[in-house]
Amino acid sequence: MAREIRFSLLYRDMWQSSGKYVPMVHQLKQIAPVIVDMGCFDRVETNGGAFEQVNLLFGENPNKAVREWTAPFNKAGIQTHMLERGLNGIRMNPVPADVRELMYKVKVKQGTNISRSFCGLNDPRNLELSVKYAKAAGMISQAALSITSSPVHTVEYFMNVVDKVVEFGADEICLKDMAGIGRPAFLGRLTKAIKDKYPHIIVQYHGHSGPGFSVASMLEVARAGAEYIDVAMEPLSWGMVHPDVITIQAMLKDAGFLVKEINMDAYMEARHLTQQFIDDYLGYFIDPGNKQMTSLLVGCGLPGGMMGSMMADLKGFHGAINSSLKNQGKKQLQLDELVVMLFQEVGYVWPKLGYPPLVTPFSQYVKNTALMNLMHTLKGEPRWTTIDKDTWNMILGKTGKLPGELAPEIVQLAKDKGLEFYTGNPQDAFPNELDRYRKEMEENNWELGEDDEELFEFAMHERQYRDYKSGVAKQRFNQELEAAKAKANAPVVVQRPVIEMPKIDIESVSQKFPNARPLQSPVKGQLIWQYDVADASSAPNIGESVKEGQTICFVQAYYGLELVKTPFSGKIVYIGAKQGEMVQKGEIIAFVE
């Protein structure tokens, strides 16, 4: 008898992999019954990841969004699932254990059935509490393997992780192929190994379509015993997102599997509504480049979303690099040449940093280190001259155990800097905090919310929640939307105003201050200058001294606030953006000499 393969629609991830924002609750409520009517989905990914932070950035209540979005699927008997980052919960930095525990209690009450939990380093210690807390709350625990392709990421390596999470009590395993670079035959072997050893464990495959492997991978894992396949749908399928349900359903049906039929009238209606959401306003925040696939991802192994950020980085540094080469009497480089060099440098850096799976945030750490290495070597300086604090935390083991061994030169560099390696459980470094948040909410006369959901939101996303409660978030989003509309409708490109100083291009700055080093924005977002933590209203002054590791400013990204710290001491000689301006990831916002 033919075996059934079931589909999960990644409606959250479709949007997150495409642009900055996700639909608002009124739009989600509009499309939910149409997704149900399509008749081909047994699961829908409804929340997690940046979903709740994005709602806060809208100035909307994320708890209301989750409850109302999951309700139609619960009623129809379709399971809902969320994505969470293990130690980091549903934010970008580590979360205290009591806040993590509350998350599952809240989410199951809100209608989320399955918790997909992953650790970017595949460290079982970061997944243990995720599995146990999810199970205790009454959720299905799905432990995810962060898939990548390297000499250390063997079937045996991943099976060691599987053994641990099954021991913790995981009900399911997800193969999270976040960059789509998992080789199909390898994924088939891994799936078979899981099913042979743990036949009762459900396996679900999640693969982005960026380099083109994922369609073949879906067929391989299905043949090897996987029960669920993650899919997308037009107009947000393919490119850097995920394969479309129509293609995958037809492929598996032809291969002899039982698959549910697709109500094409409902599919076209859901497609129409999604396009309508794009046309209404969400399209202003979608990068057109995400519609493209590229085989260049096969070599560098970076997730598709990193391609755009790499290009932004290189464009920001291009002038400074060529200025340095010119001063050295060397041939200047075209942008395409730099792209190839950066890909090669990523390939050089990755194994020396212990092969961390290239998923957020570790993909950013590897890429940033490679970029700084490239900058320094082109200037005739040694590699590893600039490594940021977050990357050092990864190197030192503070976020979990690296899959591979660090290169001896990295170990020696840490010793030379007097840094100590951490071997303890990463969770132990972050004490419980719920009592502090509860006390402040009571002092502010803020409601803790149904099932303590508001308490959870405040503890998980403190800064964004404050902005939501004050009304600043909604005001900021409306301003951003109006600016995006104006830019889209403008007949000509208008240069952004400068910060009370003549406009100086990057090459000119490099020539004037040959020893100055650039300070880049780590993400795309709104620049918030802060020299004194108590006063974030203005930029520091030209000529002002800064110390290594000092927080210079913030960038308000779609998922939260990123701190910008200077990796070197010196004085500020140039400022390129003012308070409240939008900056691109990799854009140079200051030079420090």
| Residues comprising the chain, all counted | 593
**How crowded is residue 488: how many other Cβ atoms within 10 Å of its Cβ?**
9
- Contact between 559 and 585 under an 8 Å Cβ cutoff? The reply is no
Tell me, yes or no, whether 142 and 269 share the same domain: yes
**Number of structural domains, the chain?**
3
Tell me, yes or no, whether 213 and 278 share the same domain: yes
Mean pLDDT of the chain: 89
Type of residue found at 138: G
The answer to whether residue 470 sits within a structural domain is no
**How crowded is residue 172: how many other Cβ atoms within 10 Å of its Cβ?**
20
The answer to whether residue 468 sits within a structural domain is no
The conformation of residue 514, written as its DSSP 8-state character, comes to: T
pLDDT 10s digits, 529-553: 754 333 434 567 788 888 887 888 8
Tell me, yes or no, whether 337 and 357 share the same domain: yes
**How crowded is residue 324: how many other Cβ atoms within 10 Å of its Cβ?**
22
Tell me, yes or no, whether 113 and 87 share the same domain: yes
pLDDT given at position 528: 78
The answer to whether residue 317 sits within a structural domain is yes
Tell me, yes or no, whether 231 and 125 share the same domain: yes
Tell me, yes or no, whether 191 and 328 share the same domain: no
The CATH number linked to 273 is: 3.20.20.70
Distances (CA, A) of 80 to 76, 140, 398: 11, 10, 32
Q: Domain end: 428, 451, 466, which one? A: 428
Residue 499 tokens read as 């910060």
Tell me, yes or no, whether 211 and 300 share the same domain: no
Residue (of 118, 131, 145, 114) closest to 43 by Cα position = 114
Tell me, yes or no, whether 251 and 301 share the same domain: no
Separation CA 497–CA 503 (nearest Å): 9
User: Which sign, positive or negative, has the C-alpha torsion 40, 46, 50, 55?
Assistant: positive
Q: Domain end: 372, 393, 428, which one? A: 428
- Statement: residue 193 has pLDDT above 90: yes
pLDDT given at position 458: 97
pLDDT given at position 306: 59
Separation CA 172–CA 158 (nearest Å): 14
Separation CA 467–CA 256 (nearest Å): 53
Q: What angle do CA 243, 245, 248 make, to 5 degrees?
A: 75
Separation CA 463–CA 478 (nearest Å): 19
- Statement: residue 585 has pLDDT above 80: no
What value does the mean pLDDT take over residues 189-194? 98
Separation CA 563–CA 560 (nearest Å): 10
Least confident of 279-283, 418-422, 502-506: 502-506
pLDDT 10s digits, 33-59: 999 999 999 999 999 978 999 999 999
Tell me, yes or no, whether 233 and 100 share the same domain: yes
pLDDT given at position 555: 81
Q: Domain end: 286, 310, 331, which one? A: 286
- Contact between 114 and 81 under an 8 Å Cβ cutoff? The reply is yes
The domain of 352 spans: 294-428
The CATH number linked to 552 is: 2.40.50.100
Percent of the chain with pLDDT over 70: 91
φ/ψ (deg, to 5) at 551 = -75, 120
- Contact between 102 and 437 under an 8 Å Cβ cutoff? The reply is no
- Strands, sheet with 560-565, edge to edge from the N-terminal-most edge strand: 560-565, 551-557, 525-529, 582-583
DSSP string, 387-441: --HHHHHHHTTTT---SSPPPHHHHHHHHHTT-----S-GGGGS---HHHHHHHH
Residue (of 288, 342, 358, 337) closest to 310 by Cα position = 342
Type of residue found at 133: Y
The answer to whether residue 457 sits within a structural domain is no
- Statement: residue 589 has pLDDT above 60: yes
Tell me, yes or no, whether 175 and 152 share the same domain: yes
**How crowded is residue 239: how many other Cβ atoms within 10 Å of its Cβ?**
21
pTM of the model: 0.81
Tell me, yes or no, whether 307 and 269 share the same domain: no
Does residue 48 sit in helix, strand or coil? strand
pLDDT band with cut points at 50, 70 and 90 for residue 244? very high
Tell me, yes or no, whether 273 and 311 share the same domain: no
The answer to whether residue 497 sits within a structural domain is no
pLDDT 10s digits, 435-475: 999 999 999 999 999 999 999 999 999 999 999 999 999 99
The answer to whether residue 501 sits within a structural domain is no
The answer to whether residue 71 sits within a structural domain is yes
Residue whose structure tokens are 């004490």: 431
pLDDT band with cut points at 50, 70 and 90 for residue 588? confident
Residue 382 tokens read as 């040694």
pLDDT given at position 536: 38
The answer to whether residue 460 sits within a structural domain is no
Residue whose structure tokens are 């590229």: 294
**How crowded is residue 421: how many other Cβ atoms within 10 Å of its Cβ?**
12
DSSP string, 85-102: -GGGTTSSS---HHHHHH
Residue whose structure tokens are 């002092």: 443
pLDDT 10s digits, 354-384: 999 888 778 888 988 998 898 889 888 899 9
